[in-house]
Amino acid sequence: MKTMKQFFKLSIFIWAILLVFGCSKDDFYEMDEPGLLVPLTVDEDPSLPSISLNGTLLHSEAFGNPEDPMIVVIHGGPGGDYRTLLCSRDLVDDGYYVVFYDQRGSGLSQRHDADDFTVQMYIDDLEAVIDYYRYDENQKVILLTHSWGSMLAAGFVNEYPEAIDGMVLAEPGGLTFDQMEEYLSRSLEVELFNEATNDAIFPDHIFAGRSEHEILDYKQSFWISFETAEGNTIGNPGPYPHWRSGAVAHSASHDYVVEHGFDFQNNLGNYTQKVLFMYSEWNEAYGEDWAEEVAAPFPNKEVEIVLGTGHEMFYFGWDDMYPKVLNYLNEIQ
Amino acid sequence: MKSLEILNNQKTINRIQMKTLNKIIISLVFLLTLKAGIVCAQDINWNDVENGNKHFVTLSLGEDNSSYYGLTYGYNIGNTKLPLILDAEFSVPFGEDVFDDWNSRIGLQTKLWSHNDLWWSAKASVVTRKFESEVASLLNFGSSLSTLFGYQKSKWGIAAEFTYDRSEITKIENRITKDYYPEITDGWYNTASGNFKIGLQANASIKSTNLFLRFGKTYGQDFENNPTVPFYAKVGISKSF
């Protein structure tokens, strides 16, 4: 009798497992179908502007006269895109050839597997972008950069100090691994019992244990509400536009530097061109002291505040940022 | 004559058992085909069940892909020999907007086996989750199965837990993302995927009141894409009567 009861209980349990696993859902959208929840990338949509280099396809555009001094705009992340930096096109009217590109695996650029992401890869891709658009060897090249893009620019100049004729660095987190970690500990401070945190992580219940890039990208997009929540540490006054959060690019790049570290400042003493170093008024995690500390390795720099904005200063603070950037560009001509 | 009475009584007993079993099967079919999903099931001290307590109420708070607090009510629809706890839970993540996000769960759990102070139980549940942020509104249904193997004394107990918590389908209504990507598609999505949870549960008992502590690790089902917060924890106080 007892054995029969136990057998029936176990049978129900096993049957329930089979029922759960036996579900089919032919009438529902599939999350990993390209284009449903995140935009198509350049390899999925040939109508998007792109350039081919270093074994990848990058979403890229350029504006202005190709013979004018070239400004290469480098977005943040890793895994972000250049959509909020498009205001930099204003510099075309000031006599510059302005180049935008989404970094490998980011924005609308072709996706890549996690193993492809290294620091040197980003530096090599930047070199290839410059070579792609450069008119001739005499053309000046200036980097206009934001956040992680500023870190990348510093790493590029650290390796090739003769290659760049000017740089605008807007709130790089840090130029060494330790600096980056220190900044992130302040800027990404998480409060567990807080709406913004729960809004960012609750989707982990729903989009759980899936490795398809489209699903990871869509899940990553829920962190926007954390970055732009009322009272956020980095001073963003609201949401900002984007194309796609490159989840694999972001996580793989972070994992890489955790394992290998980085030092983008050990040769910066050889970069003698003036650098414009910018920080935002409302980013509580940054401030003038941190800006001075991160900018210290540059022998020739100017540190400027961008008023009325937080970390996303290109999108929210361009009115104050643009004349300061233009003034710097005129100085280094 | 006596043999016939014994035979009739045996048939009566069998009919009652089959009716009970049919009720169980029907209940499970109904609940599981609703295709909902769960977080954590009721914390049960099986000694309280054996003592004849029918009602189980738990207040809890914890962290499981969000920090939350909740209330659970369970009722033994079986008996002390063949317990079957039907329970319902409602929990809400912490935050300024109180009911924009919530979990509701209905589950069944039973003790599969026991010997002296050792016990083995199983739980099957369905859950509905509602989520809203400026990014999107989500209505999710899922299911979960878990098993616990424990040791229960009169004043304390400990158990190991293994749970598969599965999302099934989700209605997605995108919000601010539509401003940036107008082609984004709202609708019902197959979100079949899940998390494994492996952990421990401990309880301290004073009469029919139990203090439960549960904690463990959470893994994505592919053991590569794990949740942002890869652990869960729960503190609950339970009263049975």
One DSSP character per residue, A3-28 reads HHHHHHHHHHHHHHHHHHHT---TTS
Residues A76/A77/A80/A85 CA torsion (nearest 10 deg): -10
- Rounded Cα distance between B238 and A93, Å, is 70
Q: Does B162 touch chain A (CB under 8 A)?
A: no
Q: Which of B169, B221, B226 sits opposite A28 (nearest CB)?
A: B169
| A180's tokens | 């980056």
**Three-state DSSP class for B192?**
strand
Among chain A residues, CA nearest to B65: A202
How much is the pLDDT for A9? Answer: 57
How much is the pLDDT for B185? Answer: 96
Q: Which residues of A touch B179 (CB under 8 A)?
A: 241
Q: Which of A16, A209, A225 sits opposite B220 (nearest CB)?
A: A209
CB A212 within 8 A of CB A31: yes
Our CA-based measurement puts residue A16 at a distance from the nearest CA of chain B, in whole angstroms, of 8
Q: Do A209 and B194 touch (CB under 8 A)?
A: yes
More confident residue, B141 or B51: B141
CB A317 within 8 A of CB A173: no
Our CA-based measurement puts residue B239 at a distance from the nearest CA of chain A, in whole angstroms, of 26
Our CA-based measurement puts residue B169 at a distance from the nearest CA of chain A, in whole angstroms, of 8
Q: Which of A74, A121, A125 is nearest to A98 (CA)?
A: A74
Q: Find where tokens 């980011």 sit.
A: A106
Name the stretches of chain A with pLDDT < 70.
Answer: 1-25
Q: Which of B37, B96, B174 sits opposite A195 (nearest CB)?
A: B96
B residues 77-116 closer than 8 Å to A (CB): 81-82, 93-97, 101, 110, 112-113
Q: Which residues of A touch B220 (CB under 8 A)?
A: 208-210
Sheet containing strand A141-146, strands side by side = A50-53, A56-63, A97-101, A70-74, A141-146, A166-170, A275-280, A301-306
How much is the pLDDT for A161? Answer: 94
Among chain B residues, CA nearest to A198: B66
Q: Which residues of A touch B170 (CB under 8 A)?
A: 206
Q: Which of B198, B233, B217, B236 is nearest to B44 (CA)?
A: B236
CB B94 within 8 A of CB B118: no
How much is the pLDDT for B9? Answer: 43
pTM assigned to the model: 0.85
Q: Which of A16, A37, A194 sits opposite B145 (nearest CB)?
A: A16
Our CA-based measurement puts residue B57 at a distance from the nearest CA of chain A, in whole angstroms, of 24
Among chain B residues, CA nearest to A241: B180
Our CA-based measurement puts residue B194 at a distance from the nearest CA of chain A, in whole angstroms, of 5
Question: What angle (nearest 5°) sits at the alpha carbon of residue A257, between those of residues A153 and A271?
Answer: 30
Q: Do B194 and A36 touch (CB under 8 A)?
A: no
How much is the pLDDT for A25? Answer: 60
Q: Check whether B196 has a pLDDT greater than 70.
A: yes
Q: Which residues of A touch B147 (CB under 8 A)?
A: 13
Q: Do B189 and A28 touch (CB under 8 A)?
A: yes
The fraction of chain B above a pLDDT of 70, given in percent, is 83
Q: Which residues of B touch A9 (CB under 8 A)?
A: 82, 110, 112, 122
Q: Which of A30, A211, A241 sits opposite B225 (nearest CB)?
A: A211
Taking residues B67-90, what's their average pLDDT? 89
Highest mean pLDDT among A195-199, A245-249, B45-49, B151-155: A245-249
Instruction: Select from A20, A25, A48, A220 the residue whose CB has the most chain B CBs within 10 Å, as the one to mutate to test that interface.
Output: A20
Q: Do A25 and B179 touch (CB under 8 A)?
A: no
Q: Which of A17, A36, A225 sits opposite B185 (nearest CB)?
A: A36
Classify the complex by whether its ipTM is higher than 0.90, answering yes or no.
Answer: no
Q: Does B5 touch chain A (CB under 8 A)?
A: no
Kind and range of the H or E element at B30? helix B2-33
Q: Which residues of A touch B188 (CB under 8 A)?
A: 27-29
Q: Which residues of B touch A39 (CB under 8 A)?
A: 181, 183
Q: Do B145 and A6 touch (CB under 8 A)?
A: no
Q: Which of A37, A210, A239 sits opposite B134 (nearest CB)?
A: A239
| B48's tokens | 């309280």
How much is the pLDDT for A135? Answer: 95
Q: Do B190 and A28 touch (CB under 8 A)?
A: yes
Q: Which residues of A touch B131 (CB under 8 A)?
A: 199, 202-203, 206
Q: Which of B96, B110, B229 sits opposite A9 (nearest CB)?
A: B110
More confident residue, A69 or B64: A69
Task: For residue B114, report the phi and psi dihedrals to the nearest 5 degrees.
Answer: -150, 150
- Rounded Cα distance between B53 and B212, Å, is 18
How much is the pLDDT for A7? Answer: 52
Our CA-based measurement puts residue B89 at a distance from the nearest CA of chain A, in whole angstroms, of 16
Q: Does B184 touch chain A (CB under 8 A)?
A: yes
CB A197 within 8 A of CB A226: yes
Q: pLDDT-based confidence at B34, cuts 50/70/90?
A: very low
Q: Which residues of A touch B224 (CB under 8 A)?
A: 211
Instruction: Select from B31, B125, B181, B222 the residue whose CB has the most chain A CBs within 10 Å, as the one to mutate to test that interface.
Output: B181
Highest mean pLDDT among A18-22, A227-231, B82-86, B217-221: B217-221
